[in-house]
Structure 1
């Protein structure tokens, strides 16, 4: 799946000094916006969902999976993009502090594709040591080295 991100030009290493989670979500959506897979209403919908439901998008330490419902009006195709932030982004939660530096942003046109995306991404993230290896990357070249190491 790492190859999917690279082959589809869906890998981004953010150069911005982002500390606000809303700005981080917007940044993680940029590649999908540029490719016209989503529009700005989807970005706003993700932010609104996190405001309403808390940081449900932080699925494991260091990893966020920004997404909204599969029937969003602002989604025109199915894709997942990968964005690595310069520093961890803090999300406030009633129970605990959550942070993420790796953002896998999902867009899907229908329920089936949405669930398939989540399943594929979950399987990828269960690869032993992969999250730590990706957190340690700082460039496309580093990313390609991890891709070769894990053959994913």
Structure 2
């Protein structure tokens, strides 16, 4: 899956320091927007969903999976974008379990693909040391080294 991100130009190792989680979601949406997979309507809906339902998108400490419904009008294609922030972003003040540095934004035109993408991403993240290794990435060379280490 790491190769998928690289080959499809869906990796964003940003030096932007978002002021809050809303801005972090907007930054993480840029890679999908730049690839014509979503527009601002989708990104703003993801933010609205988190406001409504809480920080459900922080799936494990350090990792967020921003996404919204496949029926959203802002979804133009299917894909997953990876944005690595320079620092962790808090979704819930004072709760380190609700901080994220790795943002895997999902977009899918249909529910089946959406579920498959979540499963594939989950499988990748469960590999030993994957999250820790991705947390150290500061450049594309670092990213490629993680790919080599995990043979992905």
Length-normalised TM-score, structure 2:
0.96
- 1:85 CA drift (Å): 0.3
Across the aligned residues of Structure 1 and Structure 2, the Cα RMSD in angstroms comes to: 1.2
Matched, 1:100 2:88: no
Contact 1:19–1:90 at 8 Å: present in 2 too? no
More divergent stretch after superposition (17-26 vs 48-57) = 17-26
Matched, 1:79 2:73: no
Aligned equivalents of 2:139 and 2:59: distance in 1? Answer: 23
Partner of 1:34: 34
Partner of 1:13: 13
- 1:96 CA drift (Å): 4.1
Aligned equivalents of 2:123 and 2:33: distance in 1? Answer: 26
- 1:36 CA drift (Å): 1.3
Q: 4+ runs of 1 displaced by more than 4 Å?
A: none
Summarize deviations over 1:12-53 as a string: whole Å, max 9, x none. Answer: 111112231000000000011111110100000000000000
Structure 1 gap segments, 5+ residues each: none
Structure 2 gap segments, 5+ residues each: none
Give the total of aligned pairs: 151
